[in-house]
């Protein structure tokens, strides 16, 4: 049996008539510039997250850059985040001229360890970016309390955690703003690039809207230097179809994760933990074992897709060496890098496929 890590073709087959109709309607109208599809998606996303403003941008990376820029963060400032993330989180901090400061993760949940946050704060610290990794939310209760004490801005990186919850609130509504990616592999993904920024701050929202569109205020007038980062109408049309299946898809992911949890309960691997007050959306199903590389090879031999995010953490990437991030002592992060492996999980997997994957893992361990 062949089991891919993800299956965009299966999703497209299920939604093809609606997606084709949405694309055709968009191209027939030729309203392609921040038009009705983007406006509809922004309104729907704001409702789902529970915020006043949702602003569509070109990508999740752009969302991070624009959020930082809108907060006035730049040269001379420090922003605390984690090394256990896709490089875009750190990249965005560097691109606005600030210095990333990385702290270690909680080994059980892979999110920023809130107990280490305060000791990383200096007089130059302006913001913290907790990353809701793999679909599990960071401990926003503790992080936001520390941010209030030290007058820091909080930007939630929810690129992998669409509609995950912590303490009753949806990620993206718990900090000063939240960012999301609609890259094709996400729980809600288009067929190209796209992103969203969420906030309840009217002034911040206004600044973000200016920045995403060249600082444009009226025809032939530009108030500030901005970016070309407008969410595309065709991508928004696709996302407006797919968003109707997002909550079903998240629930299906939880059901498949429960099958894995039960089937692997007596196998010598660590399955995903879920923190109190957290609701996981299982963007990725991540296990840990000291025999990771051998298990990965065995899965490959049995036509099972897998990933190893992040076998080289972001702070150890060659691109980050000039900023001294490789000097940070992050033992939990570096141990995870040697042990994590992601098994297939997406809404269009069958129970039988998941059971086959789990049985193959069991056979590897004898």
Instruction: Return contacts of 210-217, CB within 8 angstroms, 24+ apart.
Output: 211/66, 211/69, 211/70, 212/55, 212/56, 212/57, 212/58, 212/62, 212/66, 213/34
The per-residue pLDDT for 85 is 98
Digit-coded pLDDT (tens) for 300-326: 999 999 999 999 999 999 999 999 999
pLDDT in tens, 154-213: 999 999 999 999 999 999 999 999 999 999 999 999 999 999 999 999 999 999 999 999
Domain final residue, candidates 183, 210, 244: 244
Q: Report if residue 49 sits inside a domain.
A: yes
Mean local confidence (pLDDT), 237-241: 98
The residue-averaged pLDDT of 17-37 equals: 97
**Owner of token pair 């599809």:** 37
Instruction: Classify residue 1: in a domain, yes or no.
Output: no
Confidence band, pLDDT 50/70/90 cuts, at residue 334 = very high
The conformation of residue 350, written as its DSSP 8-state character, comes to -
- 115 pLDDT band, cuts 50/70/90, is very high
Token pair listed for 160: 């992998």
Percentage of the chain exceeding pLDDT 90: 100
Q: What is the pLDDT of residues 100-110, one digit of tens each?
A: 999 999 999 99
- The residue among 195, 223, 244 that closes a domain is 244
Work out the percent of the chain whose per-residue pLDDT is above 70.
Answer: 100
220 and 249 co-located in one domain: no
Q: Which of 358, 331, 365, 325 is nearest to 344 (CA)?
A: 358
Residue 178 domain flag: yes
**Residue 33 and residue 156 in one domain:** yes
Q: What pLDDT score was predicted for residue 332?
A: 98
Q: Do residue 181 and residue 41 come from a single domain?
A: yes
Range of the domain at 281: 245-364
Q: pLDDT averaged over the chain?
A: 98
Shared-domain flag, residues 221 and 239: yes
> Is residue 271 very low, low, confident or very high in pLDDT (cuts 50, 70, 90)?
very high
pLDDT average, residue stretch 61-77: 98
């Amino acid at each position: 049996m062949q089991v891919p890590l993800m299956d965009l073709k299966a999703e497209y087959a299920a939604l093809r008539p609606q997606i084709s109709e949405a694309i055709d309607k968009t191209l027939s109208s030729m309203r392609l510039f921040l038009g009705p599809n983007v406006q509809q998606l922004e309104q729907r996303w704001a409702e789902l997250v529970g915020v006043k403003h949702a602003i569509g941008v070109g990508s999740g990376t752009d969302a991070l850059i624009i959020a930082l820029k809108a907060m006035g963060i730049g040269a001379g400032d420090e922003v605390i985040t984690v090394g256990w993330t896709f490089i875009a989180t750190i990249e965005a901090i560097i691109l606005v001229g600030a210095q990333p400061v990385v702290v270690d993760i909680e080994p059980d949940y892979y999110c920023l360890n809130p107990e280490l946050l305060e000791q990383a704060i200096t007089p130059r610290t302006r913001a913290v970016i907790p990353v809701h990794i793999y679909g599990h939310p960071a401990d926003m209760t503790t992080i936001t309390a520390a941010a209030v004490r030290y007058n820091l801005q909080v930007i939630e990186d929810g690129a992998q955690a669409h509609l995950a919850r912590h303490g009753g609130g949806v990620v993206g509504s718990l900090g000063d703003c939240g960012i999301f990616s609609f890259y094709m592999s996400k729980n809600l993904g288009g067929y190209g690039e796209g992103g969203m920024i969420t906030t309840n701050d009217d002034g911040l929202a206004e600044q973000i809207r200016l920045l995403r569109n060249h600082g444009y205020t009226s025809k032939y007038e530009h108030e500030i230097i901005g970016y070309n980062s407008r969410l595309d109408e065709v991508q928004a049309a696709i996302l407006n179809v797919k968003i109707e299946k997002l909550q079903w898809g998240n629930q299906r992911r939880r059901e498949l994760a429960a099958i894995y949890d039960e089937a692997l309960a007596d196998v010598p691997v660590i399955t995903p933990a879920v923190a109190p007050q957290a609701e996981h959306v299982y963007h990725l199903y991540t296990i840990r074992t000291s025999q990771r590389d051998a298990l990965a090879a065995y899965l490959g031999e049995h036509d099972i897709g897998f990933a190893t995010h992040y076998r080289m953490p972001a702070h150890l990437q060659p691109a980050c060496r000039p900023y001294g991030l490789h000097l940070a002592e992050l033992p939990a992060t570096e141990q995870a890098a040697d042990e994590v492996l992601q098994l297939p999980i997406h809404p269009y997997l069958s129970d039988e496929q998941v059971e086959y994957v789990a049985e193959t893992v069991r056979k590897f361990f004898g």
